[in-house]
């Protein structure tokens, strides 16, 4: 049994999530609209770019997980990569929004290369960061805390970027949006580096494999870890549908409130601001609630609350589209569920790491957590592709009043699709996840040497 983690370590780990999610939020929230409405790039090019980048990540991310699992250094196997990836990604982020004066086709080539590099360098940092969760503690209650705290900081980052981003851009650039976004990206990059430095200097891994220590992970082993650990595949399905729903609604919200509701800054700031506080509140109470409420119930609540909120938002869009208070209420309902699910996905993936060691004898945190990084980025590509291609299909024209058919298409993209995807999260969990409390406690006891395996295991 490991000693309890100090609050200094827990908060230092969370600070890293604040910086890295500032980066992810500025790209996920604004980059598509920056390209289509500011740079006037064709939406279909954006759709293809986002999807191509994530197809590349399908090969890139698991290999990064293998590299991290094979790392041996005095700083452990996670922190060197977290620091390197942060520095590289910060520079690429600045380049992504840099005010380059190029002809249209040359700018398309430039932004395509930079976006691919952004995804790759984010992988270098993100996979080892989340892979540290099961390496920090094997205590179930502490695991809930150490999963919730970085998500809390991440929600703070999304709150800053979502509710304040448009105002920050205007402050930095005035009417020059390109300059505003460029300076915003520089500020985010600097905060990113500082917060990650806090993480890598104050947090150390504490749980190591009980079997197979020192064994190098090969490509064959990597494939075996991902294929034979059936619970990883289940969690992957849950995380995929959840992140698709979450990121699609996030990435399309700017379009929805500007063109469907007719009020961009105030409604969008309210929606994202309330979202941030709702998620942080859910993350704050999750460790306490999870000790009293069964995980099955938590999954049901987390999956169905967003559905209720999206239905209410749809009705509101027809009846009182400019009502700020009711828009905030809808956002709160949606994002309390999202906040719970953010922690649940991390918790069950960490449990899948323990299950993999129990089943196969080696501990492969980074390979398993690389699936989460890939899912998050693939979901971002999915949301970007659906949103960008959807704009093309429904006849969207930037900066003008939209037709009735186009507005209906926007409602489907913003509300109907995320609601359906949220329901699918619960379906996958109920049908596939088998690490109930009794079985999981047995797994931990076996790994600690406190119990022996059953004859049929």
pLDDT for position 210: 45
**Using H for helix, E for strand and C for coil, what is the string for the chain?**
CCCCCCHHHHHHHHHHHHHHHHHHHHHHHHHHHHHHHHCCCCHHHHHHHHHHHHHHHHHHHHHHHHHHHCCCCCCCCCHHHHHHHHHHHHHHHHHHCCCCCCCHHHHHHHHHHHHHHHHHHHHHHHHHHHHCHHHHCCCHHHHHHHHHHHHHHHHHHHHHHHHHHHHHHHHHHCCCHHHHHHHHHHHHHHHHHHHHHHHHHHCCCCCCCCCCCCCCCCHHHHHHHHHHCHHHHHHHHHHHHHHHHHHHHHHHHHHHHHHHCCCCHHHHHHHHHHHHHHHHHHHHHHHHHHCCCCHHHHHHHHHHHHHHHHHHHHHHHHHCCCCHHHHHHHHHHHHHHHHHHHHHHHHHHHHHHHHHHHHHCCCCHHHHHHHHHHHHHHHHHHHHHHHHHHHHHCCCCCCCCCCHHHHHHHHHHHHHHHHHHHHHHHHHHHHHCCCCHHHHHHHHHHHHCCCCCCCCC
Q: Distance (Å, rounded) from C-alpha 113 to C-alpha 110?
A: 5
CA atoms within 13 A on the CB side of 433: 25
Which pLDDT tens digit goes with each residue over 339-396? 999 889 988 888 888 888 888 877 777 677 777 777 877 787 788 788 888 888 999 8
Q: What is the pLDDT of residue 207?
A: 58
Both tokens of 174, joined, read 């005035």
Q: One digit per residue, pLDDT tens: the chain, 457 residues?
A: 456 778 888 899 999 999 999 999 999 889 988 998 889 888 889 888 888 887 787 667 777 878 887 877 778 888 999 999 999 999 999 999 998 888 888 999 999 999 999 989 998 999 899 888 877 877 767 777 788 889 889 989 988 998 888 889 999 998 899 999 999 999 999 999 999 999 999 988 765 544 444 456 566 666 777 777 888 889 989 999 998 998 899 888 888 998 998 876 788 889 988 998 999 899 888 888 888 888 889 999 999 999 999 999 999 999 999 899 999 999 999 999 999 998 899 888 888 888 888 888 777 776 777 777 778 777 877 887 888 888 889 998 887 888 999 999 999 999 999 999 999 999 999 999 988 888 888 888 888 777 776 644 5
pTM: 0.72
Q: What are phi and psi of 11, to 5 degrees?
A: -70, -35
**Which pairs with CB-CB distance under 8 Å and at least 24 residues apart come from 212-217?**
212/361, 212/362, 212/363, 215/362, 216/70, 217/66, 217/69, 217/70, 217/362, 217/364, 217/367
Q: In order of start, what are the domains of the chain with their CATH numbers? A: 8-448 (1.20.1250.20)
pLDDT of residue 219: 63
Matching residue, tokens 């990121």: 247
Q: Is residue 161 within 8 Å of 24, Cβ to Cβ?
A: no
Q: What is the pLDDT of residue 52?
A: 87
The pLDDT value given to residue 2: 53
Nearest 5°: phi and psi at 291?
Answer: -80, -15
Give the model's pLDDT for residue 127: 87
Phi-psi map region of 380: left, alpha, beta (phi>0 left; psi -120 to 50 alpha): alpha
């Amino acid at each position: 049994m490991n000693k309890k983690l100090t609050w200094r370590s827990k908060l230092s780990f969370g600070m890293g999530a604040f910086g890295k999610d500032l980066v992810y939020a500025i790209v996920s929230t604004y980059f598509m609209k920056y390209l289509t409405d500011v740079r006037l790039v064709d939406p279909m090019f954006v759709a293809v770019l986002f999807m191509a980048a994530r197809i590349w990540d399908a090969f890139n991310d698991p290999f990064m997980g293998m590299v991290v699992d094979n790392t041996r250094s005095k700083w452990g196997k996670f922190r060197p990569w977290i620091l390197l990836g942060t520095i590289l990604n910060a520079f690429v982020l600045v380049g992504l929004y840099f005010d380059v004066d190029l002809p249209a086709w040359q700018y398309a080539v430039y932004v395509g290369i930079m976006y691919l590099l952004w995804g790759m360098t984010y992988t270098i940092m993100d996979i080892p960061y989340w892979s540290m969760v099961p390496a920090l503690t094997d205590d179930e209650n502490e695991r809930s805390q150490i999963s919730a705290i970085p998500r809390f900081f991440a929600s703070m980052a999304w709150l800053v970027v979502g509710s304040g981003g448009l105002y920050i851009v205007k402050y930095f650039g005035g009417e020059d949006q390109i300059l505003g976004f460029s300076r915003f990206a520089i500020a985010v990059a600097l905060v990113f580096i500082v917060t990650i430095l806090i993480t890598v200097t104050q947090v150390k891994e504490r749980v190591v494999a009980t079997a197979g220590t020192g064994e190098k992970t090969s490509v064959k082993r990597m494939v075996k870890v991902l294929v034979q650990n059936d619970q990883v595949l289940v969690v992957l399905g849950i995380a995929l549908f959840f992140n698709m729903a979450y990121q699609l609604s996030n990435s399309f919200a700017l379009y929805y409130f500007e063109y469907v509701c007719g009020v961009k800054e105030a409604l969008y700031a309210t929606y994202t601001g309330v979202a941030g506080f709702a998620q942080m509140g859910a993350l704050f109470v999750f460790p306490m609630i999870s000790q009293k409420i069964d995980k099955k119930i938590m999954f049901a609540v987390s999956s169905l609350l967003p559905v209720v909120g999206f239905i209410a938002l749809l009705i509101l869009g027809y009846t009182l589209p400019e009502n700020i208070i009711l828009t905030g209420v809808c956002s709160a309902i949606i994002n309390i569920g999202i906040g719970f699910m953010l922690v649940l996905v991390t918790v069950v993936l960490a449990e899948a790491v323990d299950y993999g060691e129990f089943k196969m004898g080696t501990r492969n945190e980074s390979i398993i957590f690389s699936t989460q990084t890939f899912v998050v980025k693939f979901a971002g590509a999915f949301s970007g592709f659906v949103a960008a291609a959807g704009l093309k299909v429904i006849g969207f024209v930037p900066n003008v009043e939209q037709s009735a058919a186009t507005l209906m298409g926007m409602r489907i993209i913003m509300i109907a699709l995320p609601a359906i995807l949220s329901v699918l999260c619960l379906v996958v969990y109920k049908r596939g996840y088998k690490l109930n409390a009794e079985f999981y406690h047995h797994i931990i006891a076996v790994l600690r040497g406190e119990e022996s395996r059953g004859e049929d295991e």
